[in-house]
Amino acid sequence: MSVWLWLLIGLGAAGALFAIIGSLQTLTAAIRLGKRLSAMRESPFVTLLDALQIQVDRLARTASDAQELERRTKTALECLRAGVQASGIYAIRDSWRSFAAELHAMAEELS
């Protein structure tokens, strides 16, 4: 075997060794990144953000419920107002007023 052949075998082995070392460094960095991400998910900041998101969702549901209640309340008030007008209470009130005015006029004539 010639020196050139040994030199090529050595260079190929060195390249393979460098590739293996690079792969191990990448694997180590990926493992470290995974640990950091899992620690970050359990951090108080992320927990507070999750709690804040839950509160935002709850407030959004409450706002939609409030809009529905407002609509229902307005409908109920309109129904009550229409019921009072349809019941004739205003006509009864006006007749009592005219009756009181006539009684007052009769009392003045008699005195």
Residue 65 in domain: no
Work out how many domains the chain is built from and give that number.
Answer: 1
Residue 30 in domain: yes
Provide the residue range defining the domain that includes 16. 1-42
> Beta-carbon neighbour count of residue 72 at 10 Å?
10
Residue 5 in domain: yes
Q: Is the pLDDT of residue 109 over 90?
A: no
Which residues contact residue 40 at a Cβ distance below 8 angstroms, ignoring those fewer than 6 apart?
Answer: 46
Residue 72 in domain: no
> Beta-carbon neighbour count of residue 42 at 10 Å?
8
pLDDT tens by residue, 20-58: 999 999 999 999 999 998 888 888 887 888 889 999 999
Residue 100 in domain: no
> Distance (Å, rounded) from C-alpha 21 to C-alpha 10?
16
Residue 86 in domain: no
pLDDT tens by residue, 6-25: 999 999 999 999 999 999 99
> Distance (Å, rounded) from C-alpha 77 to C-alpha 4?
101
Residue 102 in domain: no
Residue 67 in domain: no
